[in-house]
Amino acid sequence: MEFKFDMEKNSSKITAFKNFLDEKKNTKGPLMPALQQAQEVFGYLPMEILEIISKTLQIPMAEIYGVATFYSQFSFIPQGENKISVCLGTACYVKGAQSILEEIESQLGIKSGFTTPDQKFSIASARCVGDCSIAPVILVNEDVYAKVKKSEIKNIINKYK
């Protein structure tokens, strides 16, 4: 996925984050709190921010990368404002969930697991969500769409644009 972290748009957040780092830099073991703060403030761990952490805390990027990949709560790509999950459980699958997923991918122009360049949408496939009787199911944020047809995808996406 192509995306760029907008330093200008985030400048006030960055300043606040730098202050946070300055506060933490003399405490022991500041890396985890720093990464947690970055994840919370920016929604993911932008490379630019990791570089700031590296310089301020004097920790090599390689080490930061090692730590960030170990814990499941850290992400390296931004999540979309709207998260679409397509259930690929057995019931949904036989009812054509795969083609629903492909339709969503082609509508948004991204693959599952990625986020659109305008960061409006991200797509993920889900394990069975337990709604087999209304298959196929997709979730947009917390809204459940039942018995979804390929022809309806466009309208559903438009609701969130």
Partner 1 sequence: MMTKERMDTIKETLKPKVLEKLLSEDKVELRGEDVVLKGDYYKKQVRIALKNCDIIDPTNIEEYIAFDGYYALYKSLTERKPGDIVDEIKNSLLRGRGGAGFPTGRKWDEAYKYEADKKYIICNADEGDPGAFMDRSILEKDPHSVLEGMALGGYAIGSDQGYIYVRAEYPMAVKRLEIALKQAREYGLLGNNIFGSGFNFDIELRLGSGAFVCGEGTALMESIEGRRGMPRPKLHRTAHVGLWGKPTIINNVETLANVPVIINRGYEWFRGIGTEESPGTKVFALVGKVENAGLVEVPMGMSLREIIFDIGGGAQDGKEYKAVQTGGPSGGCIPADLIDTPVDFESLGKIWSIMGSGGMVVMDENTCMVDIAKFFLDFSVEESCGKCVPCREGTKRMYEILDRITKGEGVDGDIERLEELSETVSSASLCGLGQTAPNPVITTLKYYRHEYEAHIHDKKCPAKSCKSLIKYFIEDTCIGCTRCAKACPVGCISGKVKELHVIDQSMCIKCGACYDVCPVKPIKAVSII
> What is the token pair recorded at 140?
């947009």
Q: Where are the alpha helices (DSSP H) in the chain?
A: 11-24, 31-42, 47-57, 61-70, 90-94, 97-108, 153-159
Number of residues that bind partner 1 (CB under 8 A): 25
Q: Based on the shown chain and the rule CB under 8 A, indicate whether residue 58 belongs to the binding site for partner 1.
A: no
Q: In what order do the strands lie in the sheet containing 138-140?
A: 121-126, 82-87, 138-140, 143-145
Closest CA to 145 of 81, 92, 80, 79: 92
Candidates 30-38, 108-116, 117-125, 151-159: pick the segment binding partner 1 (CB under 8 A): 30-38
Would you count residue 60 as binding partner 1 (CB under 8 A)?
A: no
Verify binding: residue 71, partner 1, rule CB under 8 A: yes
Q: Is 74 in the site for partner 1 (CB under 8 A)?
A: yes
Q: Which stretch binds partner 1 (CB under 8 A): 3-11, 14-22, 33-41, 114-122?
A: 33-41
- Residues in contact with partner 1 by the rule CB under 8 A: 28-33, 35-36, 59, 63, 66-67, 70-74, 90-91, 94-95, 132-135
